[in-house]
């Protein structure tokens, strides 16, 4: 491409993949600068590339804002709306959690790792009412557990910005402002499997699954558990 890069951490002994980083906030990337012109030449003449981008923004205030399409009128732009799927599970076995027992306690509470796996199963509508000797699936709700009358699971798919996630977390915390029967709620966030970067802008080594996610378990006493996960070919979360 004519741009300086470094070999991917996951390309093996013979590098076949390189990582090129372009910092648009760098002062040398002004339209009149040599670096900007070099990048423009590389992407438009040296190695012309046609790419699809997902673009989103968060307004600084509640005033009316122009649409994103107005900024990209010279390009083919379409609006991608969030896909929302909501369902209520009834008579569901849920793990017993205690905020001060992160690793769980036999006969008293489940561990963070157990509930993390259970949340993944529930969010994918996997039946957890299985026997340990079941041929189809041996996964079941960790013990101890309680039977809840109903549990609400909402899945939102799309390009969700960190600001929107922060607002969701705040709303979940405020859920306990009034007395509730439930003792905890959870939010799980999945990044794109083929994202080039993950935690702290480190390279995301997409191999098979491309795991790139985290979850909050928020308790009614203001405590919370934060769990982060990535795939085998990836740097560890901070």
| pTM for this entry | 0.78
Is the CB of residue 195 less than 8 Å from the CB of residue 212? yes
For the chain, what percent of residues have pLDDT higher than 70?
A: 88
If pLDDT is split at 50, 70 and 90, which confidence band does 104 have? very high
Which pLDDT tens digit goes with each residue over 165-216? 999 999 999 988 888 888 999 999 988 887 777 777 777 776 666 678 889 9
Which pLDDT tens digit goes with each residue over 109-149? 999 999 999 998 888 877 777 666 666 667 788 899 999 88
Q: Which long-range contacts (CB under 8 A, 24 or more apart) does 225-229 make?
A: 225/99, 225/102, 225/112, 227/112, 227/113, 227/116, 228/199, 229/116
If pLDDT is split at 50, 70 and 90, which confidence band does 99 have? very high
For the chain, what percent of residues have pLDDT higher than 90?
A: 27
Q: CA separation (Å) from 60 to 10, 55, 65, 71?
A: 39, 16, 10, 17
If pLDDT is split at 50, 70 and 90, which confidence band does 57 have? confident
More reliable by pLDDT, 194 or 103: 103
Residues 102-119 as b or e (16 or more Cβ within 10 Å = b): eebeeeebbbbebbbebb
Q: What are phi and psi of 140, to 5 degrees?
A: -140, 165
If pLDDT is split at 50, 70 and 90, which confidence band does 103 have? very high
Compute the mean pLDDT over every residue in the chain, rounded to the nearest whole number.
Answer: 83
Average pLDDT over residues 74-102: 89
Structure tokens at 185: 């709620």
């Amino acid at each position: 491409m004519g741009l300086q890069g470094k070999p991917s951490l996951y390309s093996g002994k013979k590098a076949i993949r390189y990582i090129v980083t372009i910092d648009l906030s760098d002062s040398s990337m002004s339209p009149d600068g040599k670096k900007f012109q070099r990048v423009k030449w590389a992407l438009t003449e040296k190695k012309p590339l046609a790419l699809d981008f997902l673009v989103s923004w968060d307004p600084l205030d509640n005033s009316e804002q122009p649409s994103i399409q107005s900024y990209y009128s010279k390009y083919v732009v379409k609006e991608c709306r969030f896909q929302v799927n909501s369902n209520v599970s009834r008579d569901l076995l849920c793990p017993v959690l205690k905020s001060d027992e992160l690793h769980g306690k036999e006969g008293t509470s489940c561990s963070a790792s157990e509930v993390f796996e259970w949340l993944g199963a529930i969010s994918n509508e996997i039946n957890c009412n299985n026997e340990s000797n079941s041929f189809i699936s041996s996964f079941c709700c960790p013990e101890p557990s309680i039977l809840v009358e109903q549990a609400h699971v909402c899945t939102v798919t799309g390009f969700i910005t960190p600001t929107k996630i922060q607002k969701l977390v705040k709303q979940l915390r405020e859920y306990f402002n009034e007395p509730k029967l439930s003792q905890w709620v959870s939010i799980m966030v999945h990044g794109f499997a083929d994202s080039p970067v993950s935690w702290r802008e480190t390279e995301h080594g997409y191999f098979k699954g491309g795991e790139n996610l985290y979850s909050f378990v928020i308790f009614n006493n203001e405590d919370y558990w934060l769990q982060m996960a990535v795939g085998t070919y990836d740097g560890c979360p901070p």
